[in-house]
């Protein structure tokens, strides 16, 4: 009877040891996977933000060129009547909206927003710049 209890104790102790080792290994694997995920997503976000900063610089350059165009025709419209001033101001309002959208992109990048949100803001800013460009062409 004593030998069977001793044998049962040995097998139970061995089982507990094996299960403990398996749990330790599983915990190490899970922690390593989570760490790898965090590091790889951080690298991916840095790469995305680099591209997004390039797009922001392009948006700012386009805005600057369009702003110069608006300023070059400003005196012509202000020399005309009240209707000409209203048409110019309406078109200039579209340019102001585009600038606001570009500043929105800048603030999202500075705040470290997720790349998909920044991308959507960039697309909106591009649409606003297109609208301002069309408004200028209609002057």
Q: What is the pLDDT along the chain (139 residues), one digit of tens a residue?
A: 566 777 778 888 888 999 999 999 999 999 999 988 888 776 665 556 678 888 999 999 999 999 999 999 988 888 888 888 888 999 999 999 999 999 999 999 888 888 888 899 999 999 999 999 999 998 7
In this structure, what CATH number is given to the domain that contains residue 13?
1.20.140
HSE-up (13 A, CA, CB side) for residue 33: 6
Domain of 14, in residue numbers = 2-137
pLDDT given for residue 103 in this prediction: 94
CA atoms of 17 and 69, how far apart (whole Å): 78
Q: Based on the structure, what is the number of domains in the chain? A: 1
Task: Give the pLDDT confidence of 7-46 residue by residue, as tens digits.
Answer: 778 888 888 999 999 999 999 999 999 988 888 776 665 5
- 10 Å Cβ neighbour count for 97? 16
CA atoms of 2 and 137, how far apart (whole Å): 100
pLDDT given for residue 5 in this prediction: 75
pTM: 0.66
Going by C-beta distance under 8 Å and a sequence separation of 6 or more, which residues neighbour residue 55?
Answer: 122
């Amino acid at each position: 009877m004593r030998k069977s209890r001793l044998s049962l104790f040995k097998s139970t102790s061995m089982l507990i040891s094996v299960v403990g080792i398996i749990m330790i290994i599983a915990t190490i694997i899970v922690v390593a996977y989570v760490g790898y995920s965090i590091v790889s997503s951080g690298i991916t976000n840095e790469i995305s933000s680099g591209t997004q900063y390039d797009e922001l610089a392009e948006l700012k350059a386009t805005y600057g060129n369009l702003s110069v165009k608006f300023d070059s025709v400003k005196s012509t419209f202000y020399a005309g009547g009240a209707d000409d001033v209203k048409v110019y101001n309406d078109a200039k309002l579209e340019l102001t909206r585009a600038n606001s959208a570009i500043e929105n992109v800048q603030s999202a990048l500075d705040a470290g927003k997720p790349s998909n949100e920044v991308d959507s803001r960039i697309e909106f800013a591009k649409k606003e710049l297109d609208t301002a460009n069309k408004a200028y062409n209609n002057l």
